């Protein structure tokens, strides 16, 4: 095998032409065999090759950064892209067993390619792949948009019969957006990360120092699709409250709206900020999510009122009916347990 060759991408090499070679200098991180290591100084730091040249050829990756030599993306991502483009599963399977790792290392990297390397190591196939990416991108974008619009309608799937009255007692379900130092958030899509909410709030109040450094200021329970935020001072909280968009529900209560990513959070004041009220157990959380979802439906009914008055009422009635049914069922279960 050619011991004196290497494949290092331009980014890692940084135009460096002087490399130090040490034969059998280290263990390859993929095949565990000794290989010829190259050290070099680029971008004011010392780099070294981590995998052997054969392994890098098999996967068509740089020996230093392990990104694809052609596209400069991680192997996993490259395979994912190629599998969406080609419609077949492309994956770089890695051996778990040491013997198997060494066995694969015996295969010549010039002819034996793993996963998507067969495409990106070949200039013709790469050009073809780029063309098919061009074709699929438009389709993917469209489907993504569809999904984004569909996301808003996701409802909690599982039906749980847990009794959450002890939680709902503490939650401001009938609350309004009034002055307070802490607020309750619901209509929260589970895919929204906490940092997005924190960023949105920081932007609204114009400072990042709204969190109290001595206690938790943001608590989000993604399972229950709700959360709470607490401000350091009343002034900042007031600024936050005034900055929110507000709307009036059919029950004549005012609630706040905060746009985070592509969903709108509903916000009401929650003076008794309490973590335990957000639920811990899975069953509790999903039940709470259901109740909050109903709440959101009734909040949003205003928009429908103008169009068709009886409709929201019907929804509410049916939801009430189902709730009473559920409470009966929970009672029955409790009886059995007793």
Partner 1 sequence: MAPESLSREGSWKKRPAPIQVSEKELPSSIPPQTGLTFNVWYNKWSQGNTGRSRFVSPYKLDTESHEGYTRGDKTKRAFFCLYFTKGMCCLGKRCEYLHHVPNAEDIARLSLQSDVIDCFGREKHGSYREDMGGVGSFRKKNRTLYVGGITGALNDLALKAGQVENRIRFSFGKLGPLERIRYVETKNCAFVKYKHQASAEFAKEAMSNQTLLIPSDKEWSDRREGTGLLVKWANDDPSPEAQRREKEQQDQESLKVMLDLLEKNDAKIADASTDNTPSKKRLLESPEADNNSFQRSIFGSLSKNNLNRLKKLKAEKPATDRANQSSPASLVDYPSSDED
Q: Looking at residues 127 to 186 of the shown chain, list those that interact with partner 1 (rule: CB under 8 A).
A: 130, 133-134, 136-137, 140-141, 144, 147
Which one among 5, 145, 235, 323 touches partner 1, defined by CB under 8 A? Answer: 5
Considering only residues 295 to 334 of the shown chain, the ones binding partner 1 according to CB under 8 A are none
- How far apart are CB 328 and partner 1 at their closest, in Å? 28
Residue 48's H or E segment, with its range, is strand 45-48
Q: At what angle do helices 123-151 and 75-86 cross, to 10 degrees?
A: 80
Considering only residues 248 to 267 of the shown chain, the ones binding partner 1 according to CB under 8 A are none
Position 108 contacts partner 1 (CB under 8 A): yes
Which one among 182, 202, 249, 253 touches partner 1, defined by CB under 8 A? Answer: 202
CA–CA dist 82, 67 (Å, integer): 15
Position 244 contacts partner 1 (CB under 8 A): no
CA–CA dist 65, 139 (Å, integer): 32
Nearer to partner 1, 99 or 306 (CB): 99
Count of residues of this chain found to bind partner 1 when the rule CB under 8 A is applied: 82
Considering only residues 69 to 98 of the shown chain, the ones binding partner 1 according to CB under 8 A are 69-71, 73-77, 80-81, 84, 94, 96
Are the beta carbons of 269 and 177 closer than 8 angstroms? yes
Position 109 contacts partner 1 (CB under 8 A): yes
Are the beta carbons of 280 and 168 closer than 8 angstroms? no
Position 191 contacts partner 1 (CB under 8 A): yes
DSSP 28: -
Are the beta carbons of 248 and 254 closer than 8 angstroms? yes
Position 50 contacts partner 1 (CB under 8 A): yes
Position 281 contacts partner 1 (CB under 8 A): yes
Tokens 């680029």 belong to residue? 42
Nearer to partner 1, 64 or 237 (CB): 64
Position 294 contacts partner 1 (CB under 8 A): no
Q: What is the DSSP string of 250-279?
A: TTS-EEEEEEETTEEEEEEE-SS--GGGG-
CA–CA dist 24, 99 (Å, integer): 19
């Amino acid at each position: 095998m050619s011991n004196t060759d290497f494949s290092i991408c331009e980014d890692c090499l940084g135009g460096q032409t002087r490399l130090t070679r040490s034969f059998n200098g280290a263990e390859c991180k993929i095949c565990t065999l000794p290989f010829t290591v190259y050290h070099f100084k680029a971008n004011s730091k010392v780099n070294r090759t981590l995998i052997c040249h054969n392994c890098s050829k098999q996967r068509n990756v740089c020996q230093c950064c392990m990104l694809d030599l052609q596209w400069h993306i991680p192997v996993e991502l490259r395979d994912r892209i190629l599998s969406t483009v080609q419609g077949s599963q492309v994956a770089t399977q890695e051996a778990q067993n040491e013997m198997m790792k060494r066995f694969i290392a015996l295969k010549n990297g010039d002819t034996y390619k793993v996963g998507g390397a067969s495409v990106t190591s070949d200039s013709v196939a790469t050009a073809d792949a780029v063309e098919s990416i061009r074709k699929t991108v438009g389709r993917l974008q469209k489907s993504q948009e569809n999904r984004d619009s569909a996301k808003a309608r996701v409802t909690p799937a599982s039906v749980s019969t847990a009794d959450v009255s002890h939680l709902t007692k503490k939650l401001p379900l009938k609350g309004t957006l009034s002055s307070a130092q802490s607020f309750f958030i619901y209509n929260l899509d589970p895919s929204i990360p906490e940092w997005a909410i924190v960023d949105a709030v920081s932007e609204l109040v114009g400072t990042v120092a709204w969190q109290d450094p001595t206690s938790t200021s943001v608590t989000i329970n993604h399972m229950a699709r709700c959360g709470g935020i607490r401000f350091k001072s009343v002034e900042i909280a007031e600024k936050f409250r005034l900055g929110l968009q507000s709307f009036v529900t059919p029950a004549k209560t005012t609630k706040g709206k905060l746009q985070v990513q592509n969903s709108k959070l509903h916000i009401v004041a929650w003076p008794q900020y309490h973590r335990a009220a957000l639920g811990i157990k899975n069953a509790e959380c999903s039940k709470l999510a259901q109740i909050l979802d109903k709440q959101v439906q009734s909040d949003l009914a205003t928009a429908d009122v103008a169009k068709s008055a009886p409709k929201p009422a019907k929804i509410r009635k049916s939801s009430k009916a189902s709730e009473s049914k559920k409470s009966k069922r929970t009672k029955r279960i409790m009886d059995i347990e007793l």
